[in-house]
Amino acid sequence: MHILGGLLLSCFLLVSACNRQEEQQRTSTSPSEEVGTDESEPLEAHDPLSIEGLRERVFPKLEIELLNTVTADEGLEAREFSYNSDGYTIYGLLEKPAGAPPPSGWPVIIVAHGYIPPEVYSTSKNYRSVTGYYAKGGFLVLKPDYRGHDRSEGVGEGPTATIEYSIDVLSLINQIDSVPDADPSGVFLYGHSMGGEISLRILTVNKMLRGATLWAPVSRRFPENMLYFIRKNRPEEAEAFQNALDALYAPDEYDMLTPNDYLDSIDIPILLHHGTQDESVPFEWSTELREAFDKVGLSYTFYEYPGEDHNISESFHKVLDRDMEFFRSLME
């Protein structure tokens, strides 16, 4: 589920360099906008795509727009929605229980989906087994598409693609209080595969979430998080990708883009699920991630599923049940 495709990698040098320049322009602020600064001691400028840069970014308070209804199972309601992220219009799916919400609104689960080629991804079809299950359990579910997916604007490729996808999810989190019937005080995160990497980055940046579940997360350091899959599935494109990467960052800059170095800033509980026969994201990655969690004293529970594949197919509903129990326990 995590194979880079779409635009030709020969275009990466131009597209990626332009993207980085645009990011720097978008996130520049005047001295009056910098909180707690002394004009005689200017803040150190962080790369806008680094963890520190994302923490400093000002996400504007905008409103989500509800769009057309989508077919849903009995007892559920589903609609597409759109919102602004980095100046792009991003689309997504909202699914929730039909009927009146609790007084405080429905608790929210954001679904950070795994890799699907952007040109074939579907807002209304992909990951519906996940969104529908959570909605039936009493949650309002928001599944953002990411830029470049389906109708969403922007480019969904390049060495920094998953960081830019993370920005799209962070933008959505900042706009949850505009969602009708949503409880912005009870927001949780689901991340699968590539979405697991996105979730780890979000957890090191945003403090609004109450808990997260990670399914077979991509947890390699930048840029191995992407190079591994290129070498494995499209080796002929590895050189072009590396050239595009070299145009953006030097190797000594990689750490600032890697969530793994900021795990000690995560202060919410996590569930970690992984099948031992995963042929997409190696199971060993999660055992190493567990060790990293232990090192920083993070609160987590690790479940391994013997013989299971990347989607934990045989135990799929068992995993969802565990998620549901976990989320509900954090609401008590």
CATH topology of domain 62-331: Rossmann fold (3.40.50)
Q: Which residue has the tokens 């001691």?
A: 41
Query: In the structure encoding, which two tokens stand for residue 275, read together?
Result: 């099948």
Q: Convert the pLDDT of each residue in 67-109 to its tens digit.
A: 999 999 999 999 999 999 999 999 999 999 999 999 999 999 9
Q: What is the pLDDT of residue 7?
A: 35
What is the rounded average pLDDT of the residues 252-276?
97
Examine the pLDDT at 66 and tell me if it is beyond 60. Answer: yes
Q: Convert the pLDDT of each residue in 8-46 to its tens digit.
A: 343 433 344 445 445 444 444 333 333 333 444 445 689
CA dihedral sign of residues 144, 5, 263, 297 = positive
* Position with higher pLDDT, 30 vs 266: 266
User: CA triplet 167, 91, 267: central angle to 5 degrees?
Assistant: 35
Q: Convert the pLDDT of each residue in 197-207 to its tens digit.
A: 999 999 999 99
Mean pLDDT of the chain: 89
What is the rounded average pLDDT of the residues 232-260?
96
Q: What is the pLDDT of residue 157?
A: 78
Query: In the structure encoding, which two tokens stand for residue 278, read together?
Result: 């995963």
Among the listed residues 300, 301, 274, the one whose alpha carbon sits nearest the alpha carbon of residue 285 = 274
Give domain limits for the chain: 62-331
